[in-house]
Amino acid sequence: MNELPHARISAAIEAANQARRVGLVPFITAGYPQKDRFIDTLDALSAVAEVIEIGVPFSDPMADGVTIQRSSHAAIEAGVSLHWIIDQLTAARRAGKTFAPLILMSYLNPLFIYGFRQLAQDAADAGVCGFIVPDLPLEEGAEFRDALAHAGLGQVQLITPTTTDERMAELCQASKGFVYAVTVTGITGGGTVIPPEVTGYLDRVSAVAEIPVCAGFGIREAAQVESIGRHADGVIVGSALVEHLEAGHDPAAFLQGLRPA
């Protein structure tokens, strides 16, 4: 049990694959739609999910669609911050709770203001395994990656259909936990149709990556999960899940419904 936190992410997805299941990676905006349900929601999702992605709200979520923009602004209004998230997770851990491996998804500025070294330590203490930072490209990320590495955490790198082969190799090499393959060029929550060239693209990423590949952006139906699951090790479900939470539905039931029968 001495494995590094970021290795827990890979191990969880690999275990699902060995059981012939696609890894499910739900995304929620922390403390949304109800701040006091944050830990309960993580609990419920942990029963179904391999890994959970927790969105840190930011005032200018420029790579996100309307759903995540809405949830981010509402969470900020409700007083959700990176410090609050870390405090909640730390308290839950001290109370003996365990969750599926957790990843924080945040734009760079809140991390920068927190301080990279301090954040890596506090996040590790809170049971966080890794980070996704959509506006931190490989070229600018050395300092953050170093800080994470000291605490055994990793940064999940994103690959998009516009990424060149050369760049893809570098990104796969640098990525920890899994490789996040964006399946629709563009912002999250854009539509339900999976372009036919996507499967070829996912196969291309999988051929290069030595850790699991998870596909994300715009996934909302079991049929999509099934077809993408043939070409990726896991799928990320974001906007659709947030919409279900907004409607007051049970997030775990929705997630379970996405698993191919």
Partner 1 sequence: MQIELTDKQADELLGQLVAGELPDARGRFGPFGGCYAPETLMPALARLAAGVDEHLHAPAFQAELGAELQDWVGRPTALTHARGLSQRWGADVWLKREDLAHTGAHKINNALGQALLARRLGAGRVIAETGAGQHGVATAAACARAGMPCIVYMGAVDVERQRPNVDRMLQLGAEVAPVTSGDATLRAAIDEAFRDWVADPEGSYYLLGSAVGPHPYPYLVRELQAVIGREARAQMQELAGGPADAAFACVGGGSNAIGLFHPLLGDRDTQLIGVEAGGCGAGLGENSATLVTGTPGILHGSLSLLLQDVNGQVQETHSVSAGLDYAGVGPEHALLKTIGRVTYESATDADALAALRECCEAEGILPALETAHAFADARRWAHDNPGKRILIGLSGRGDKDMPTLSKLMHAGEAPGRAA
**Catalytic residue annotation:** 53, 64
Q: Binding residue for partner 1 (CB under 8 A) from 1, 162, 196, 197?
A: 162
Nearer to partner 1, 144 or 254 (CB): 144
| Gap between the Cα atoms of 19 and 206, Å rounded | 19
| 170 is an interface residue for partner 1 by CB under 8 A | no
| 163 is an interface residue for partner 1 by CB under 8 A | yes
- How many Cβ atoms from other residues are within 10 Å of residue 226's Cβ? 15
**Cα 2 → chain centroid:** 23
Nearer to partner 1, 3 or 143 (CB): 143
Rounded-to-10 torsion of CA 37, 38, 44, 47: -170
- Four-residue CA torsion sign, 9, 232, 48, 56: positive
Q: Binding residue for partner 1 (CB under 8 A) from 32, 38, 99, 114?
A: 114
| 137 is an interface residue for partner 1 by CB under 8 A | yes
Q: Binding residue for partner 1 (CB under 8 A) from 19, 164, 197, 261?
A: 164
For the bound state, the minimum distance from the C-beta of residue 130 to partner 1, rounded and expressed in Å, comes to: 16
The strand pair at 179-182 and 158-159 is best described as: parallel
- H/E element, 112: helix 108-114
- How many Cβ atoms from other residues are within 10 Å of residue 241's Cβ? 26
Residues 58-77 touching partner 1, rule: CB under 8 A, are: 58-63, 65-66, 69, 73, 76
Nearer to partner 1, 14 or 135 (CB): 135
| 135 is an interface residue for partner 1 by CB under 8 A | yes
Nearer to partner 1, 99 or 201 (CB): 201
| 185 is an interface residue for partner 1 by CB under 8 A | yes
Please check whether residue 215 is in contact with residue 236, taking contact to mean a CB–CB distance below 8 angstroms.
Answer: yes
Residue type, 177: G
Please enumerate in sequence order all residues whose Cβ is within 8 A of that of 90, keeping only pairs 6 or more positions apart, or say none.
122, 125, 126, 127
Q: Binding residue for partner 1 (CB under 8 A) from 5, 31, 110, 130?
A: 110
List of residues contacting partner 1 (CB under 8 A): 58-63, 65-66, 69, 73, 76, 81-83, 108-115, 134-137, 139-140, 157-160, 162-164, 167, 171, 182, 185-187, 190
